[in-house]
Structure 1
Amino acid sequence: MKDIQTLLATLDGITLSELVRRKEITATQLLDAALANIDAVNPALNAVAERRDEAARDAAASITGAESVLAGVPTLVKDLFMPLAGARMANGSHLFGDYRPDFDGELVARLKRGGIPLFGTSLSPEFGTSYCTSSTRFGLTHNPWNPDVTCGGSSGAAAALVAARALPFAHGNDGGGSLRVPASCCGVFGLKPTRGRTPMGPSSGEGWAGLGINHAISRSVRDSAALLDLTAGMDTGAPYAAPHQRGTFLSSTQRDPDALRIAVIDQAPPWRTDPVCHAALADTVSLLTSLGHHVEPLASPVDGTVFYDRVFTIIGAQTRALIDTVAHHRGAPIRADEIEARTRIILREKGGVSGADYAAAVDWVHALGRTFGRLMRRYDVLLTPTLAMPPLPPAELAITDDTLSLNEVIDRSHRFSPFTAWFNATGQPAMSVPLYWSEQGLPIGSHFAGAFGAEALLFSLAAQLERAAPWSQRVPPLCAAPVA
């Protein structure tokens, strides 16, 4: 078992699946190794919401490896509005109690059809609105590089498990940076696809007026591409779809891109970028230039104060709709102690916006998408820091005091991550690539965005960067198994 645990900690999902196809190992053995790895790291991480070992064993027993290029490789589903039949879906909150959907989300169903055993769920902050994965119900998830700093959020548990080598990849979702922020904090790869690329149904049409989308965090670029091949495409009744992709995303990782025109945006007013993140950005610019890409500076096209006011108008209205729906179904109003301070603040200041205010915010966000669309006629890729600051202590991000104003909450969150949510608003694909580690040994991601529908270009660039500056041998102090 220890040998297979080491394989799981060392190899990416595509390589492991090939071993299953060649019958050198079985899907059941891989599952047992993943469970052993979880046992090794989760007591220190606190990243797993619920285990479903026996259901996963039943699934693994029939997997041959022929189902997909990732068949046989086990993983977890993030506990945030993505149903896994039979698993508790708490969404990081006391509010949902022990609710257990009896159906799979379409994305989960596609993973299962691809031969991926799903053995449980990973933690999320309440409703996914924090860049720190912590909740009053489930506690704090720790960063395997340093337990005194955040692992990011809201897919921080997925990122922590992947970084700690318990799994090669894990599901997550992203409404304002929730895949890319934890990928940066944990030194792994995280890509947010184009709006509409992956399914939200059957229980949702869209999240936060189109800001939210599902995908994954991974150690290797090609695993992320293969997962997107497996899950991409609109589901029945979806309100919209991403542009058609020619060829596979996986094939795009096998070739370098042509010389690219890249604009670098290093500041997101009104917040300033920390010198450590500037250093990481400069290092990435040097690498890109050495690879033949043209990089030039660009001023921020976004007023952060106005932008986040509009975004939280959307989040506030949709949070109110969620709370009212839960209250309606249970036949009793929601008590203040059933939701967290951050949610109470959002509801207090934005939960009562008018329909006209909500529509105006959506219109404003759509206009921003047009602005960026025109910008992408001049550039192939936009580069920013993933984060404006290195990973912070959790207390600087977690909100426990509901006397704070929403502006104070926004400042705490978005002085840390001012850039990532831009591309949820515009719908563009964006990714955090782990290319730099600080003198304190903390990973600092570089953030790239492509034009709407241009995931293949981002995967091609990411794979080129991975070959030029590989990160796979960087291992955090907390690790599931030895890595050679």
Structure 2
Amino acid sequence: MNITEYAAHDATALAELIRSRQVTAAEVRAAAADALDRVDPHLSAIAGTRYDAPLACDEDGPFAGVPFAIKDLIAHAEGVPTRSGSRMFGDGVTYPYDTHLMARFRRAGLASMATTRSPEMGFNASTEALAYGGPTRNPWDRTRSAGGSSGGSAALVAAGALPMAHANDGGGSIRIPAAACGAVGLKPSRGRITPGPDFADPLMGLGVEFAITRTVRDCARLFDAVHGSEPGDRYLLPAPDRSYAEHAGIGSRPLRVAFSATPDDPRRAVDPESVAALARVAQQLADMGHTVEEAAPDIDAEAFDRANLDAWCSFLGDAVTGAAAQLGCTPGREHLEATTLACVEYGKSLSAFDIYAAERVFNTATREVARFLTGYDVLLTPTTAAPTVELGRLDADDASLDARGWYERIFEYGAFTSLFNATGHPAISLPLAQSSAGLPIGMQFVGRYGDEATLLALAGDLERAMPWADRIPSVHVTTLGVG
């Protein structure tokens, strides 16, 4: 299998080639290794170097032999160092066990070949951690951000090096990099994918796990393979009436769709090209027979942002304090980037009363979004306030920013995503448009709690109506030599 053949197939197609013995898993992995070696010197998306050999996986899984990567945050594999994007962890901490999701990736047959970069502790909408010695670059424009916090995964998928890769999302960290790099990014409903055994409700329930893919069918088939709870989880969501892959293939019924180009905080500016792209997608939905109208939930943005800031900073404060105790160090600038340290210090100043107050705000927001979605099947927004941002705009080592200043900097760009981490609703970003400069523009679709089936069915329809497969970034495995 040559590099062009490899890059032309999504994970579903690669799995079928292996299953039907048209190629061997070893041949596919060799092509993937070549692909990773071609693109990573241009993108800096891998944490360290790719593995000497793929991690063990089930040869009978639905994606048996398909190349994959795991993000350097939250989920981890037995014996594989993880750093959470931070110098605090040196060369990485290893665990003697897989997280539940990692075990499911293995059972699905995915051959993990590398760890992808994350910003420090995941609190950034760009992937520029000092721990790795340089930023992850966007394959469409190397002066631009690949998004965050799953920017390493998104960059490798968009550049054709991998058909899909692990990602997670606490404020937009699947959807934002998917939008920036022109990929598919599904944030599942809270509780749909187990966060165990390390967490019950990561980040006060904001954090969820899944992946970034190039195609909707890969997204749906991988979701079929890894969703579901484990003993001890707090949630048990009902399964769909048929597989998610079937929903994506069959398509959607006529839906009632609300759309809005205005962030919850209307003071946050939205790029005119993103607004225009939203209007085109809304018209496409109307042409497909859906009922489309402009509307949005009514959210108290000031209260929400304070609650979200407190949730994030208390999480960072707890994570760093716990790690410091284990590592026997006192966190300082030699360990943490300036804004991380500022957020940790602010988080440590919060009381239990502050966290309960944040929970009350999240409850109000959740009930408002749920109420709103009784009248609509789907809410459509831009995924981000602009196609992407220039590298350095989201510099987490900017000592001039306090915790609130850093929060505002992140969510000026990620203006549409974090609400649905707080409410737990599923949301998916699709690369349905491009800017005049050729940068991807992602569109976010939000569904009712537990109803990923409707989102994937609609996504399948939109992929067929507004295809993106032929769009190739300037940094791509088919256009680069090794090194």
Does TM, normalized by the shorter one, top 0.5?
Answer: yes
| Equivalent residue pairs, number | 476
Write out per-residue CA displacement over residues 140-185 of structure 1, whole angstroms, 9 at most, x where no aligned residue. 0000000111110000111100000001111100000001001110
- Of residues 21, 25, 28, the one that matches 2:19 is 21
Distance 1:320-1:411 versus aligned 2 partners, 3 A rule: closer
Give me the TM-score of the superposition, normalised by structure 2: 0.95
SS of equivalent to 1:53: coil
Residue 452 of structure 1 corresponds to 449
SS of equivalent to 1:254: helix
Q: Distance in 1 between matches of 2:143 and 2:208?
A: 29
Q: Distance in 2 between matches of 1:120 and 1:366?
A: 38
Distance 1:408-1:334 versus aligned 2 partners, 3 A rule: closer
Amino acid at match of 2:228: G
- Deviation at 1:299? 4.2
- Deviation at 1:266? 1.2
Residue 423 of structure 2 corresponds to 426
Write out per-residue CA displacement over residues 266-323 of structure 1, whole angstroms, 9 at most, x where no aligned residue. 1112212221111110111111111111111114522333212101101111111112
Deviates more, 1:122-131 or 1:256-265: 256-265
Distance 1:334-1:407 versus aligned 2 partners, 3 A rule: closer
- Of residues 79, 82, 87, the one that matches 1:86 is 79
Write out per-residue CA displacement over residues 15-36 of structure 1, whole angstroms, 9 at most, x where no aligned residue. 1101111101111111111110
Gaps of 5+ in 2: none
Q: Does 2:386 match 1:392?
A: no
Query: Is residue 192–residue 214 contact of structure 1 (8 Å, CA) maintained in 2?
Result: yes
- Of residues 69, 72, 76, the one that matches 1:76 is 69
Gaps of 5+ in 1: none
Amino acid at match of 2:46: V
- Of residues 202, 210, 213, the one that matches 2:208 is 213
Matches within 5 A, 1:313-328: 313-328=310-325
Q: Distance in 2 between matches of 1:171 and 1:334?
A: 29
Write out per-residue CA displacement over residues 4-24 of structure 1, whole angstroms, 9 at most, x where no aligned residue. x22221111111101111101
Q: Distance in 2 between matches of 1:134 and 1:305?
A: 28
SS of equivalent to 1:56: coil
Q: Distance in 2 between matches of 1:329 and 1:228?
A: 35
Give me the TM-score of the superposition, normalised by structure 1: 0.95
- Deviation at 1:55? 4.1
Residue 142 of structure 2 corresponds to 147
Residue 187 of structure 1 corresponds to 182
Write out per-residue CA displacement over residues 47-100 of structure 1, whole angstroms, 9 at most, x where no aligned residue. 01144534417x37x73xx421x2211110000021111211100001122311
Residue 298 of structure 2 corresponds to 301
Cα RMSD of the aligned pairs, angstroms, is 1.6
- Deviation at 1:368? 1.1
Residue 195 of structure 2 corresponds to 200
Q: Distance in 2 between matches of 1:399 and 1:55?
A: 33
Residue 288 of structure 1 corresponds to 285
Residue 106 of structure 2 corresponds to 112
Write out per-residue CA displacement over residues 243-275 of structure 1, whole angstroms, 9 at most, x where no aligned residue. 333321111111121111011121112212221
Query: Is residue 198–residue 231 contact of structure 1 (8 Å, CA) maintained in 2?
Result: yes
Q: Does 2:240 match 1:242?
A: no
SS of equivalent to 2:189: coil
- Deviation at 1:344? 1.4
Residue 125 of structure 1 corresponds to 119
- Of residues 128, 134, 157, the one that matches 1:134 is 128
Distance 1:227-1:171 versus aligned 2 partners, 3 A rule: same
Query: Is residue 9–residue 482 contact of structure 1 (8 Å, CA) maintained in 2?
Result: no
Q: Distance in 1 between matches of 2:102 and 2:250?
A: 30
Residue 5 of structure 2 corresponds to 7
- Deviation at 1:419? 0.9
Query: Is residue 85–residue 104 contact of structure 1 (8 Å, CA) maintained in 2?
Result: yes
Residue 227 of structure 1 corresponds to 222
- Of residues 399, 402, 407, the one that matches 1:405 is 402
Write out per-residue CA displacement over residues 199-224 of structure 1, whole angstroms, 9 at most, x where no aligned residue. 11111222111100111111100101
Q: Distance in 1 between matches of 2:407 and 2:71?
A: 24
Query: Is residue 159–residue 476 contact of structure 2 (8 Å, CA) maintained in 1?
Result: yes
Write out per-residue CA displacement over residues 346-404 of structure 1, whole angstroms, 9 at most, x where no aligned residue. 12333310001111102211221111111111000001111112211121112322232
Amino acid at match of 2:204: A
SS of equivalent to 2:168: strand
Deviates more, 1:345-354 or 1:215-224: 345-354
